[in-house]
Amino acid sequence: MFDAQSTISSNEIPQSVNVKDFSIKADKTRADALRLKKQRIARIRERQMKFQIEAQWVFEHFTDHFSAVLAKSPDELKSAYKIRHEVFCEEIKIFEGNETGLERDNYDDYAEQCLIQHNRSKDYAGCVRLIMPEQDDQILPIEKQGIEHIERKDLLPENFPRNEVAEVSRILIPKVFRRRKIDAAACAANTGINIEHYDENDMRCFPFIAVGLYMACTAMFKNRGKNHIYFMADPRLGKSMQVVGLTMTQIGPEFEYVGRRVPYYIESKNFLDNLKPAFKTMLDEFMKKIY
């Protein structure tokens, strides 16, 4: 005899089991996702804590090991141009090298160079320049290479007095100072740097040399009274500057110019509003050196 009730029940049993299995799997998926999320958060917090501990040491000791030097003498200027040639022409090869071993362009005629120097060895660990036009025919690199990418027309350089605008450029660190563990053979062969001059505390400072360069260029435009600053930065460099609390406004999309670049505008009076307190110690020290 055909039993409708029996047929319905038998059909419902596997359906009920499938729904239960699906529910268990969904719960497990959510639990796994939550566990992975917690692990990611824990790793982020661990990195942040490690950075804070490391940064605190650097804040206290960086200026014991490194100094900002405004390049004035021919030898100091040559050192800045030499670093630029080593990185841009010899290492990443975005510019053509030359027999002098110095990378220089027309913007240097109205720019200042600053170097980060290792106190004990006197080796230079990085350079940065600030281009400061004073005349109408002295343009900024962004006006030549990136003007069409600026979407914030209210922040075009032409909107401000010529003697109040400037551009940060050529932030560079030689390869040897971008490493925590130095390859002695490579250093001796390629840079002439004597690594015996560096101890573990020196090398702990190496990742923060870039921060020193940020503070150096800040000291330059603060001491020179430049109120409107431009910067065509590698996206990673732009983000790292903002991580330390330097306030920049992105004024256009990422574009291609000797690598990927993002155009930024910096208003001098607001640039340091979010600067982490400990970095201010470094800046204050550099402002005494760069005048």
**Which two structure tokens, joined as six digits, stand for 80?**
């800045």
pLDDT of amino acid 71:
96
pLDDT of amino acid 55:
61
pLDDT tens series, the chain, 291 aa: 444 444 444 454 455 556 666 677 777 788 888 888 888 888 888 877 776 666 666 666 778 888 999 999 999 999 999 999 999 999 989 899 899 999 999 999 999 999 999 888 899 999 999 999 998 889 999 999 999 999 999 999 999 999 999 999 999 999 888 765 545 444 444 444 444 554 555 555 666 788 889 889 999 999 999 999 999 988 887 777 777 778 889 999 999 988 889 999 999 888 888 787 777 878 888 888 888
pLDDT of amino acid 53:
66
Tell me the residue type at 200.
E
Tell me the residue type at 284.
D
CA 289/CA 282 separation, integer angstroms: 11
pLDDT of amino acid 54:
62
Buried/exposed 208-242: b ≥16 CB within 10 Å, e otherwise = bbbbbbbbbbbbbbbebebbbbbbbbeeebbeebe
Q: Identify which of 223, 225, 227 has the alpha carbon closest to the alpha carbon of residue 215.
A: 223
Beta bridge partners of 266: 229
pLDDT of amino acid 190:
47
Q: Are 218 and 275 a contacting pair, CB within 8 Å?
A: no
Burial classification of residue 95, based on how many CB atoms lie within 10 Å of its CB (0-12 exposed, 13-18 middle, 19 or more buried):
middle
Can you give the three-state secondary structure of 71-117, one letter per residue?
A: CCCHHHHHHHHHHHHHHHHHHCCCCCCCCCCCCCCHHHHHEEEEEEE
**Which two structure tokens, joined as six digits, stand for 44?**
């982020």
**Which two structure tokens, joined as six digits, stand for 267?**
């208003």
